[in-house]
Chains A and B, each alone.
Chain A
């Protein structure tokens, strides 16, 4: 199993990462080493086995639908580099 440059470029797009030529080479090399490592799991016979997505396969606790603490809007907006009143400012997304 090896990941080609086209796939790598598509994945970088999905992951919102910019990789320069040198990084692409490094990432390609190390991902191919890792895929060699993980390739062996395909050989295990798991036809009768369900995936275990979580270590606790029992119920999740539910809470009562009660009003709790108020919004932390002000303190959260302070963390943003650019905010204006109640809004985060981002580069223009609609022409």
Chain B
């Protein structure tokens, strides 16, 4: 059961070989059995409303009755939504995020909420107030972040699908480190309404699942303009049609030789080259492209994202919702300071301070505006590259999942985002799919597409997955 695709699960449900309640139970039982060893979930919905299950079963469409887990930064009505923070540890939203609402309307059944780095700031999931998430392939290692709970849950088959979000790599990097498929759509494709904000010009909701086909089916139900998010773009929705065969004849795949050279881990390099050869064997043509300003992307990102975060997180004042200090306060500013210092973890405070610095007078032009100019240059680099190729295939992470506690300073973790940040700055659709493992640890390949062309990367990944089985492999402890 747990190795079936969404299409196969839908078929079983339609044939009434299994009920929606039975299917939910299969995954709920696994959540209860395995979560204590992973800490991937913050809330398991033990008591799903039977009426909700019946209503889900009545839906038409490919997702009716399919269980899913939401990353805990998507607001869920009457269900605690913490964003991995003490600040929101008791917060119960009175509304659903648009993504949650849309998937509910498609008949999906939410069974749990996934752990994450606090306010989505982190690449290892060690920054959750509720404790680190373990990598299902090796419990001593991190699952990546910030959507590490979602990634670990899919990898361990606690759910067939999870929602996630990506600001600088938070879907692709954990997907790569946990051996699953994860897509960040184009900025503006999916509504951010009800998704707790980190950096508003970069944040984008997406999907994690076993295969590209599963991701595409769920993304199709999630996307579209939303009057409640003016940055969600009005555009023709696409209808996913899975490729019938793996032929890639005529497909021009951009590769960046300099990025391959930057891979110091020979096993990852070898896996990446082997995956590219697989694409060539299906008829794809590899074309060398260059992103000459991409080496400035990490630096620009760590100005822009903290700047936006410092503004976004100013809403947490302890008055309207969220944590409020119980200490005696001299005045309102004292209460703000005590509340925020108690409610935010160290990494969040560090980024707020960095963002406050970048936006402060005297530094605004030199750093913040300069970073926005670098962003423009990187966006132009991509436009130039996509005038020559249909998709780009590049590494996701320069390393396999690292040991918990191995990276104690933020900067060394930030630099590992070098391959994911450029596409984030340009707002492009991108995904990670599993390729040959390195030393029994998962490795991902990143596909990047032109703006608003998620189909190009999903179709390429789906074809790759027709002739490979890396995406179907799962950690032995969860078989």
Contacts from A to B (Cβ < 8 Å): 3, 7-8, 11-12, 14-19, 23, 26-27, 30-31, 33-35, 37-42, 44, 46, 49-56, 60-61, 63, 72, 75-76, 78-82, 88, 90-93
7 closest residue pairs by CB, A with B: A55-B427, A51-B372, A52-B376, A46-B373, A79-B321, A75-B94, A16-B336
CB pair B349–A44 under 8 Å, yes or no, is no
Give the chain A neighbours of B331 by CB distance below 8 A: 91-93
Q: Is A52 touching B373 in the complex (CB atoms < 8 A)?
A: yes
**Minimum Cβ distance to chain B for residue A25 (Å):** 12
Residues of A within 8 A of B324 (CB): 81-82
Given A17-B340, A38-B303, verify A80-B319 contact (CB < 8 Å): yes
Please name 24 pairs of A and B residues whose Cβ atoms are closer than 8 Å in the assembled complex, sorted by A: A11-B360, A14-B356, A15-B352, A16-B337, A17-B341, A17-B353, A33-B409, A34-B410, A37-B415, A38-B303, A41-B303, A42-B366, A46-B370, A46-B377, A49-B376, A52-B376, A55-B379, A55-B427, A60-B230, A61-B234, A79-B92, A79-B94, A81-B318, A91-B332
Q: Choose among A16, A27, A79, A93 the residue that contacts B350 (Cβ–Cβ < 8 A).
A: A27
For the residues of B in contact with A, the DSSP-based class is helix
Residues of B close to A7: CB separation below 8 A = 357
Interface residues on chain B, number (Cβ under 8 Å) = 71
As a 0/1 sequence over residues 45 to 62 of chain B, the CB contacts with chain A under 8 angstroms (1 = contact) are 000000000000000000
Q: How far does the alpha carbon of A82 sit from the alpha carbon of B177 in the complex, in Å?
A: 44
B377–A49 CB distance below 8 A: yes
B379 pairs with A52, CB closer than 8 A? yes
Q: Using an 8 Å CB-CB cutoff, how does the interface string of B89-101 with A read, 1 for contact, 0 for none?
A: 0011011000000
Question: Which residues on B sit within 8 Å (CB–CB) of A53?
Answer: 201, 372
For A35, list chain B residues within 8 Å (CB): 357
Q: How far is the CA of A27 from the CA of B302 in the complex (A)?
A: 15
B332 touches A41 (CB 8 A): no
User: In whole Å, how far is B234's beta carbon from the nearest beta carbon of chain A?
Assistant: 5
- When distances are taken between beta carbons in the complex, the residues of chain B under 8 Å from A30 are 350, 409-411
Stretch at the interface among B65-73, B245-253, B291-299: B291-299
Q: Determine the distance from Cα of A88 to Cα of B335 in the docked complex, in whole angstroms.
A: 14
The answer, yes or no, to whether B338 is at the interface (CB within 8 Å) is: yes
Residues of chain A with a CB closer than 8 A to B370's CB:
41-42, 44, 46
Distance in angstroms from A27 CB to nearest chain B CB is 6
8 A Cβ contacts from B345-388 to A: 346, 349-350, 352-354, 356-357, 360, 366-367, 369-377, 379
Q: Enumerate chain A residues within 8 angstroms of B298, measured Cβ to Cβ.
A: 37
Chain B residues, CB < 8 A from A17: 337, 340-341, 344, 349, 352-353
Whether B374 pairs with A19 at a CB distance below 8 angstroms is no
A33 partner residues in chain B, CB cutoff 8 A: 409-411
Interchain CB contact under 8 A, A55 and B425: yes
Residues of A contacting B91 with CB < 8 Å? Answer: 79
Q: Is B188 an interface residue (CB 8 A)?
A: yes
| Chain A residues with CB under 8 A of B464 | none
State A41–B295 Cα separation when bound (angstroms).
Answer: 10
Among the listed A26, A38, A78, which residue makes an inter-chain contact with B302, where contact means beta carbons less than 8 Å apart? A38
- Known contacts A37-B411, A42-B366, A56-B187; is-contact A8 B230 (Cβ 8 Å): no
A44 in contact with B425 given A51-B376, A56-B188, A88-B319 (CB within 8 Å): no
What is the CB-to-nearest-CB distance from B369 to chain A, in angstroms, rounded to a whole number? 5
Cα-based distance from A5 to B220 in the complex (angstroms):
50
Contact residues in A for B317 (Cβ distance below 8 Å): 16
Known: A16-B337, A91-B335. A38 touches B367 (CB 8 A): yes
Contact call B356/A11, Cβ cutoff below 8 A: yes
Residues of B within 8 A of A44 (CB): 293, 296, 370, 373-374, 377
**Chain A proximity of B323: nearest CB distance (Å):** 9
- Complex interface: chain B residues within 8 A of A23 (CB): 346, 349
Q: B259 within 8 Å of A by Cβ?
A: no
Chain B residues near A19 (CB-CB < 8 A):
341, 349
Contact of B296 among A41, A90, A91 (CB under 8 A): A41
